[in-house]
Structure 1
Amino acid sequence: MKELFGSPGKLSGLMLRLGQFSLAAASVGFMLSAHNFYNSTAFCYLIASMGLQVLWSFGLACLDLHALRTKRNLQNPVLVSLFVFGDWVTAFLSLSGASSAAGVTVLYARDLNTNYCKSQPDFSCSRFQISVALAFISWFLLAISCHTMLWLLAAL
């Protein structure tokens, strides 16, 4: 069977998971460092969804690392089914969190009549924008993983 990029138990899969983990953790870090992030439900939801992605990606990165060290094959139908389900759930939650936070960020930065970001000097619009951008990049890596897992499940 041909090895797919991002397959579980392979070096490419480990790198993909570490990328997801680090970008999601950076997104959470930027959002938590922003002043008054807790005033928006969308920002709190972004933190929750990225937190779930951090846990999921870190857990699978540890599993990939263990499989690489012990030279085990993680490509059996039960494990891959679990990976597909987990990836798709976290992908939907991450995309919805990033999209809702992006909507609120655009509202603050561009759509309010007074340009809320410029009128409130202690408001951290740039941190919100960086956090949302990192969340979308992290989701993109997760989408690659979802695609790979689905094709791997179909091939097993």
Structure 2
Amino acid sequence: MKELMGSPGSVSGLLLRLGQCLFAVGSIGVMVSASGFSNYTAFCYLIASMGLQVLWSFGLACLDVYALRIKQDLQNPVLVSLFVVGDWVTATLSLAAACSSAGIVVLYSKDLHFCATV
């Protein structure tokens, strides 16, 4: 297979996985620091999806470190297909969680006072 930037088993792939992991941890940290976040299902869903993203990204980062350490090529079509499907699933869950959380924020910040008496 062709060597691409960010491919599994490369230094750039490792850096991208670590970035994914750090941003997911940051997202969890921001949500947990908010008071009363657990009262809203969308925010709990965001934490759950980011937790899954942390586990997936950290696991693949460990696999990248191992592959770099033993100088093993991870350009196997079956492995790359597994990574693509896993990334697709976690990306879809993360997008859905981020959109639902943003929808709740917009609802409470702008639309909640729509029916208030003047």
Same fold (TM over 0.5): yes
Residue equivalent to 1:55: 55
* TM-score of the two chains, using structure 2 as the length reference: 0.91
- Where in structure 2 are there 5+ consecutive unaligned residues? none
User: SS of 1:74's equivalent?
Assistant: coil
- Percent identity over the alignment? 71
Matched, 1:74 2:74: yes
Q: Distance in 2 between matches of 1:109 and 1:4?
A: 43
Residue equivalent to 1:150: none
Q: Which AA in structure 1 matches 2:96?
A: S
Q: CA deviation at 1:78?
A: 1.6
* TM-score of the two chains, using structure 1 as the length reference: 0.70
Q: Map Cα deviations across residues 69-112 of structure 1 (whole Å, 9 max, x no partner).
A: 11110110121111111111111101000100011111222222
Q: Distance in 1 between matches of 2:37 and 2:50?
A: 15
User: SS of 1:3's equivalent?
Assistant: coil
Q: CA deviation at 1:40?
A: 0.7
Alignment of 1:2-151 (within 5 A): 2-113=2-113
User: SS of 1:105's equivalent?
Assistant: helix
Q: Which AA in structure 1 matches 2:78?
A: V
Q: Distance in 2 between matches of 1:36 and 1:17?
A: 30
Give the 3 Å change call, closer, same or farther, for CA 2–80 of structure 1 in structure 2: closer
Q: Which has the higher contact order (CA 8 A, sep 6+)?
A: 1
Between 104-113 and 85-94, the greater mean CA deviation after superposition: 104-113
Q: Which AA in structure 1 matches 2:104?
A: V
Q: Map Cα deviations across residues 94-137 of structure 1 (whole Å, 9 max, x no partner).
A: 100010001111122222218xxxxxxxxxxxxxxxxxxxxxxx
